[in-house]
Homo-oligomer: A and B are copies of this chain.
Amino acid sequence: MSGHLCVVGLGPGDARWRTPEADAALARAEALYGYGPYLDRVPAREGQARHPSGNREEGARAAAALRHVAQGAHVALVSGGDPGVFAMAAAVCAEIEAGPQSWRSLEVAIVPGISAMLAVAARVGAPLGGDFCAISLSDNLKPWELIEQRLAAAAGAGFVIALYNPVSQARPWQLGAALDVLRQQLPAETPVVFGRAVGRPDESVAVKRLDAAEPTGADMATLVIVGSSHTRTIARPGRAPLVYTPRAVEKVSA
């Protein structure tokens, strides 16, 4: 009796972005764990138990999956996007570190997925074409002061910035405050991409200038990409503009 935990990245909403490795891992599992709306994206299979949970219960969900694996089960724990980017893989590692010593002997595999920033970037061109960073705006898990420091450091050093978890009902002001920090560092015309529900039927994508970017353009399903001073917008007749960051930087930015 040897259990197995697979932490599976489903990618963003569209099933055509789910890898064959993820499909195989889901098909093999006896039990599925995950945030309810993510589990709903997995095709049903007879005899496979489903254990949905709420979106603020990552640690408890990871621990429940590990307990099940310790009993010998083959378990898939699903994550939206990529499990390693602000998602379940770190929660599983933290529970293994904090849990019983026997959990360190369990077999654990991570199946990568398309992270939201890659999908949003693909919709508009190549905004992540230069050096870039990813910052979660959730101050449930770290002090807001640290988030502001990181935003300022990243913009000052010329990184394009992908903002995960920009807004939630409990965190209504953080995106506005983040954009204020970035406006102190970046030109007014810097492109800002709001990608909402990308890959789902209700997808919407908008490109704004930083001086006109409103935090109301984002909700819980939105990923925001803020360009660097090198990021460019190409107008196209009859088509949405392309947004891209050149790979080449000729001179050191201010």
Q: Residues of A with Cβ closer than 8 Å to B?
A: 9, 11, 14-21, 24, 58, 82-86, 89-94, 96-97, 104-105, 107-115, 118-119, 121-123, 125-136, 141-143, 145-146, 149-150, 153-154, 156-159, 232, 234-239, 242, 244-253
CA distance A156 to B133 in the complex (A): 14
Q: A19-B114, A112-B17, A236-B104 are in contact. Are A142 and B89 (CB under 8 A)?
A: no
Q: Are B89 and A129 in contact (CB under 8 A)?
A: yes
Question: Which residue from B110, B113, B122 sits with its C-beta under 8 Å from A125?
Answer: B110
Question: Which residue from B20, B131, B232, B244 sits with its C-beta under 8 Å from A89?
Answer: B244
* Interface SS of chain A: mixed
CB neighbours (8 Å) of A111 from chain B are: 122
Q: Are A86 and B149 in contact (CB under 8 A)?
A: no
Q: Are B158 and A157 in contact (CB under 8 A)?
A: no
Q: Are A236 and B131 in contact (CB under 8 A)?
A: no
CA distance A159 to B82 in the complex (A): 18
CB neighbours (8 Å) of A58 from chain B are: 247
Residue among A97, A107, A127, A149 facing the most chain B CB atoms (10 A cut-off): A97
Question: Which residue from B17, B21, B92, B126 sits with its C-beta under 8 Å from A83?
Answer: B126
Q: How far is the CB of A14 from chain B (nearest CB, A)?
A: 7
Q: Are B20 and A126 in contact (CB under 8 A)?
A: no
CB neighbours (8 Å) of A119 from chain B are: 112
